[in-house]
Amino acid sequence: MGSFLLEQIVNGIITGSVYALVAAGMTMIFGVLRAINFAHGEYYMLGTFAAWWVMTKLSADYSLAIVGGVLIVSLIAVLIGRTVMQRLIGQPFQAGVLATLGLSLILQNIVILAFGGGYKVFNGGWIEPIELGDFGMSQQRVILVVVTLAVFAGLEWMVRSTRLGRSIRAVSQNIECCQVNGIDVEQVVRKTFLIGVAIAALSGILTGPINVSIYGGMGESITLKTFAVIVMGGMGNVRGTLIAGCLLGVIESLVAGFIGLQYRDSVGFVVLLLMLMLRPHGLFSSKARF
């Protein structure tokens, strides 16, 4: 029983690290734009598809596909950042909702149009199991957790110690003051968006070998779970996102393992409702942003 519990917690942390990676970008973008990016799951999907495309069409191996996939999606992010996201600065929130929901539909359907609506098989990755005493897991999952920790450490450093990080923090506190002080807000928004999207794409590529079947609509469910994570973590709080993501993953795992898989997806929504009712500013202090 004890080891079963431990195993479910490990499973949860692995699942949760994907949620955390995707949510990190979403929460940063919310920080600078005050807009929920409804299309965020699509960048996760685009990352997986880009890597799949690099592997199948250019017959590159998986490690090259990680780099190629992130690069391709980053190019898309540069384009969307300039044409859509930077124009949302100072706009009412409805504009952000409409623009990102629209982007979500466009991106999904472009992928379906280009590659067809059917599932694709994502081959590659390091899927051989490692035996960890009582239970096994693929090498890919270990890599996923290590990369998640590295990305969050990097984000933490970037936000605290670099000029870009300082300007991101400044913009997320007060846009007008930044404009007065000569910070190029549009550029900060573009760069934040690019970082967020690249991380989402990376998490998609890293989970590809585990999820195997990929399709155009695969980003939707991750977007929904990400809402719960960013609300739990506190909107705009990067560190909180890591803990909240893992927490959601662990609760989901325990529910699936002890109650039943059919109740798993309800966890995120129940958590979201409870958070909004009881602690709308998140699990952590409302001052903890960045």
Partner 1 sequence: MTTHPTTTSPIRAACAAILSLGALAAAVPASAQSGDTFKLGIIAPMSGPNARYGAFANKGAALAAAEINAAGGLLGKKVQLVSGDSQCVPAEGVAATQRMISLEKTPIIIGDVCSSVTLAMQPLVEESKVLLVNAASSNPDITYKAGVGGFKWTFRNYPTDEVRAATVLEYASKTKGFKKFAVLSVDSDYGRGAIKFTKRYLPKYEGAEILSEDYYKDSETDFRSVLSKIRRSGAQAIFLYGQADTTPIIARQMLELGLAGKVALVGNGEFNTKETIAAAPKVMNGAVEAAAWLPEVPAPRSLKFVEDYKKANGGEMPNNHAYTHYDTVQLIAQAVKSANSLKGEDVRNALARIKYESPMGTVVFDDHNQAVMPMVLLEITDGKPEIKGMIATKVDYSAAAAAAK
Strand bridging mode 129-132 / 135-138: antiparallel
* Smallest distance from partner 1 to CB 190, Å: 17
Binding-site member from 93, 119, 157, 269 for partner 1 (CB under 8 A): 119
74, 14 Cβ separation under 8 angstroms:
no
* Smallest distance from partner 1 to CB 164, Å: 27
- Write out the two tokens for 254: 């325990």
Query: Phi and psi of 81, rounded to 5°?
Result: -60, -45
Closest CA to 16 of 151, 128, 144, 122: 144
- What is the C-alpha separation between 34 and 57, in angstroms, rounded? 39
- What is the C-alpha separation between 44 and 48, in angstroms, rounded? 7
> Closest CB to partner 1 among 137 and 159?
137
156 binding partner 1? (CB under 8 A): no
* Smallest distance from partner 1 to CB 273, Å: 19
> Closest CB to partner 1 among 5 and 149?
5
147 binding partner 1? (CB under 8 A): no
- Write out the two tokens for 91: 């706009």
* Smallest distance from partner 1 to CB 236, Å: 27
- What is the C-alpha separation between 234 and 141, in angstroms, rounded? 27
118 binding partner 1? (CB under 8 A): yes
203 binding partner 1? (CB under 8 A): no
Q: Where in 216-235 is the site for partner 1 (CB under 8 A)? A: 217-218, 220-221
4 binding partner 1? (CB under 8 A): yes
CB burial readout 105-116, b (16+ within 10 A) else e:
eebbeebeeebe
**Residue ranges binding partner 1 (CB under 8 A):** 4, 7-8, 11-12, 14-15, 112, 116-119, 121, 123, 127, 129, 131, 135-138, 141, 207, 210-213, 215, 217-218, 220-221, 252-254, 256-257, 260-262, 264-265
